[in-house]
Structure formats: C-alpha cells, structure tokens
Amino acid sequence: MGTVGINFGAATSGGGFDVTTTVASMVANLKAVETPWTTQLTTLKAQDTAFTSMGTDLATLSTSLLALTDFQGVMAAKQGSSSDTNLLALTSAGPTAVAGSHTIVVTKLAQTSSQYSATVPASDVLSGALTIQVGIGTPTTIPVVSGTSDTLTSYAAAINLADIGVTASIISDTAGSRLSLVSNTSGLAGQLTVTSGGTTPETSVTTAAGASVASTSSVAATSTFTLPASTAELSGTFSYSVGGGSANTVDLGAIPLPLTATVAALNSATGFSGAGLIASTSGAKLVITGSTGVATIDTSGSSLTTTTPVATYSALTDTSVGTTGTAVVMNTGLTGQNAQLTVDGLSVDSASNTVSTAIPGVTFQLLSADNSTNIQVQIANDNITVATAFSTFVGAYNAVVKDIKTQEGLDPSGNPEPLYGNTVISQLQSSLSLALTSGTASGTVKSLYQMGISVNQDGTLALNSTTLDSALNSNYQDVVGYLQNAESFGLKFQNSLDQLGNQSPVGAITLALRANSTQETTFNSNVTAEDALIAIKQASLTQQLNLANEILQAIPQQLDEVNQLYSAMTGYNTSSSH
C-alpha cells in the first residue's frame, strides 16, 4: 500500500490543505486491495460472454440436427405431382406418405344435395311449413310463424336457426326471389328430402326474456315476449314492475295456457290493470303495453315455460293477395352423390371431392371426371428441403468450430482470448471431432462421407451436394436410418451436444458458467465488504483531517495574538520597520 503526502506550504501561512483531494487519494490507496478481485471479475465476465455466445451457436447446431433426426421433420417431408391437374390436383403429401407412383381414374365427382323453391316475391306473406330430412336423419318440420318467419327471408333465417344440417339462403334475380336449401354434408349421406307441410312434436322450453322498450312522449312503453308459434302456451310465474317500482307477480299455474287465456289471466289480475298495463297478442308474440308516460316495464323477473303443442301444418303457401293461396313448390337442384374413382385398380368411394384416405398421407382434390384418362400421381422425397437442412447443419457446425478457433488465439490487441487455455475448449473440440464418427451403419450408409460431408484440414465441414443428392436418390431410407435409428449418428451426435452446451443442466458450458458465477459471487462479496470498511475509514479520515486543517488555518491568527500580547507587555512593536 502506498503513502499519501499532505502539502500545505509554510505552517504560518494559514493556507491549510485540500481535505477532499487528500481523502480521495487515501481512499484510492485503500481500494488497491480490491484490484485482484476486480481484475478476476473482469476476466470471469469476459469468459461468461464468450461461453454464452458459444452456447448460442451450439444450440443452433442442435436445432439444425433436430430437423434431420425428428421423425416428423424434413426427412419425412414429401412432394407430389399430378399428370393432369385439370382432373386432379395434389393438395399435400404428409410425413406418413410413402414415395411411389399411383394410377388414378376419376369416374364421378361428389355432389352436395340442394333444393330451391319456385319464385316468390320477397315481400309476400307465407304460411304452412316444410319438412326437411338430411340423409337418413330424423325429419324436422319448420313451420312458418306469423309475424316472425312469414316472409321468404325470415323463413330462411328460421331454418338456419333450427340447426338441422342444412343452410338456407335467398337467391334473387330478375325473375324474383327463391329459397335455396343446401345440405351441410356432401355426398350421398347429405341427400336432402324436402316435403311440404308436416307435424311438429310437443316441446317445452324456458321462455326467453321479454324485450322492453321505454316510452316516449307519444309511444307507450312495451315488453314483448316472442314465442315459437301462435299456438304456444305459457305456464309459470309472470313478474312485472312499472317505472322502477316494486315487483308484482301473476301466477299462471302449472297447466299451460293458450295465448288468449294467458292474456285474459293477466288483464284480470289484481293490480295489473291498476298499474296501467294491458296484455295482448300479435301473432306469436305476447305484448305488455303500459300507459303513456310510464318510463319502463320490467318483466325480467318472470319465470315462464313455453309449451308448443303438437301441430300439423299444411304445405308451404304464398298467402298474399292475388296469389289465391299458391303452394310454394320445391325443386331438386343437385342430387347428393359420392365421388367414384379407382386408385391403382381399387374402387374407392368418397363423400367429398377432397380425398385424404385413398393414398396414406396424401390429400388430393378431384376437379373433373374422365373415366378414359389415367392420372399418374407421383409421391417423392423432398430432396431439396433435405439438402437445405444438411447445408444448415454444416453451417452451424462450422460456426462452432470458428468459435473454438477464435478462443485458442489472440485478440486484435495481441492479448489472449478470454477462454485461451480453458479446458472446456479442448473438451468441446475433442467431443465434436469424436461425434462426427459415432453411430452405427444403416444399410449401405456407414459414414457422413457417403452423404457428401467431409472434414477440412481446419476442422470445418464441407458439403458435396452432388454426392448427397445421389445418396438420397439411391439409398434414402438408409440415410434416414443413419440419422434416426437407435445408436445412429444423429442420436449420438445429439447426445454429445447435450453434454456440451448450455441447454442441458449438465452441459459443459452450463457447468462452466455455474462455476464462474460462484467465484463472481465471492469476489463481489469481498468488494462489497471492503467498500463498507473503506467508507468507515473515509468518514473518520475526513473528520480528522478537517480538524487538522482548521488548526493549520488558525495559526496566523494565534501568532498575531501572541505578538499583540508581547507588544503590550514590552512596548515593543514587532511589526515596526527597523
């Protein structure tokens, strides 16, 4: 530890000295004890940076290898082609597809069943019902509900709401509007059977809440319950409050009441009419109307059940004036049918023109039928994608080798790299070299060299694309086995990478970073503890030196006082000139 001098000039000058600068010099001298620790910390941090960068490159190498060793990865990828894309288009060839050629003849395309109605003016009022059956499913009667679904558009909405496996829409042109029904199931299984009229079974459901509309200066408040049909019946408890007041109830009983009887029961209930309310019906709706000026009618507390009794409906009919009750006739658009084709001479039926079960792992689209044309579907291994994956692996390996070479040399300033001489570097180098020759043979493939991969003098890899393509074309499954079989090169190399990088808790880089972290914690603790001691010493030194400085600065004044006392006692003026 060095010494620190104090420069304050002549003692009688009164100039004192710079306490702050003096203390700072002393503290710097005291902190010299920390230099070995901070130097070690700098070295360890540089090593951490190098280790982390190398770990990232090893992780990239591991990912590139996984693309080749994954059973569902690039080695399983397939590509396909069709000899006649006007008749058949290949959609996909998945990992389970097997390379080979197939002959397909398309004799019939699949069709989705559809029906359409005769032309009906969009504003005309309908009555009656249609009964719709999809395939061999249960027939469902969809009745027209007066005021709710009694136009072509609203009736189509009612069919869709029934969710019976058919989509209804309105098609309009210069001739008028038509109801279109299309099965949601393609092929024979979705064949539509549509008949006019029908019978609905009895149903009981919880009544949907009434829709309340507030009053205006000219329109009274209302609360409207929309029911499935005008024949619907209600039971349970009806609750109402007016203008935010207290709630009242009317018990309709457990036996369902027709709408007319429900209206009568409400209007005769004590307090209902006194609250200014009137019940009425409008088609399949129960309407509660208040007197003008009533803010709102709240019926949300009602607990009602809607029962729709068995009902028989006549044919779907246009009842508007001038139609004389014209029946709305339904016509067949397309008949549901399955696609028919042969695959390598085997007859295949498909409900859809998208076929995914005729050739394992392959999906194709039938576009047209021609029983006189043989379509050749070729499924091949995706050599281009595989070659790209091999190139990525070689590039990732070479990046790691470059990292190792860098750490074995000097930086641009001529100083050793952070990991120069580190045992982890030699471990990485030897493990990677040995891993290149690990793994058992797979058929005719016994080494990376047979797949076009060779080792350069500097330890990097080179890829011969021609050799690789030849191996893929002649011994594809052997190449796959060399990468993916038990005890294969691919699996053993992956295991080696797991033992080296920072992705595994036992990887060499992981352990090195952990060891560095332990040392860094110790050195940081030493620095922190020493800084605390130095802070105490700094405070003490500052106090002592400030006191000494005050004494030095007071000397001239003290000398002046002595001189004055001497003059008073002797009469001799020490300041006079001689």
CB 497 within 8 A of CB 58: yes
pLDDT given for residue 33 in this prediction: 86
pLDDT at 577: 46
Phi–psi pair at 93, nearest 5 degrees: -130, 105
Integer CA distances (angstroms), 52 to 49, 65, 396, 501, in order = 5, 20, 16, 9
* H or E, element range at 258: strand 248-258
* φ, ψ of residue 490 in degrees (nearest 5): -60, -45
CA distance 242 to 275: 7
Count how many Cα atoms sit within 13 Å of the Cα of residue 506 in the half-sphere of its side chain. Answer: 4
Three state DSSP letters for 537-550 = HHHHHHHHHHHHHH
> In angstroms, rounded to a whole number, what is the distance separating the alpha carbons of residues 494 and 15?
76
Phi, psi angle pair for 574, to nearest 5°: -70, -15
pLDDT tens-place string over residues 376-404: 999 999 999 999 999 999 999 999 999 99
CA dihedral 560, 566, 572, 575 (to 10 degrees): -10
CA distance 352 to 78: 23
Query: Residue 236 has what pLDDT?
Result: 95
Amino acid at 284: A
> Among 145, 115, 114, which Cα is nearest to 128's?
145
Q: What integer pLDDT is reported at residue 578 of this predicted model?
A: 45
**Burial classification of residue 225, based on how many CB atoms lie within 10 Å of its CB (0-12 exposed, 13-18 middle, 19 or more buried):** buried
Cα separation of 58 and 400, whole Å?
Answer: 6
Q: Where are the alpha helices (DSSP H) in 98-214?
A: 152-162
- The answer to whether 326 touches 274, Cβ cutoff 8 Å, is no
Q: What is the DSSP letter of 141?
A: E
Distance CA 306, CA 212 (A): 19
Q: What is the pLDDT of residue 443?
A: 92
Among candidates 309, 310, 195, which has minimal Cα distance to 256? 309
Phi/psi of residue 410, nearest 5 degrees: -110, 155
- Which of 231, 224, 225 lies closest to 308, judged by CA? 231
Determine which helix (DSSP H) or strand (DSSP E) holds 111, and give its type and residue range. none
Task: Please say whether the beta carbons of 509 and 61 come within 8 A.
Answer: no
Buried b (16+ CB within 10 A) or exposed e, 296-315: bbbbeebebbbbbeebebeb
Amino acid 444 reads: T
C-alpha neighbours within 13 Å on the C-beta side of residue 441: 7
- Give the pLDDT of residue 5: 58
User: In which region does residue 163 sit, left (phi positive, over 0), alpha (psi from -120 to 50) or beta (all else)?
Assistant: left
List, for the chain, all residue ranges whose pLDDT scores fall below the cut of 70.
1-16, 292-294, 321-324, 573-578
8 Å CB contact between 399 and 391? no
Which one-letter amino acid corresponds to residue 213?
A: V
Which residue in 305, 324, 353, 100 sits closest to 208, CA to CA? Answer: 305
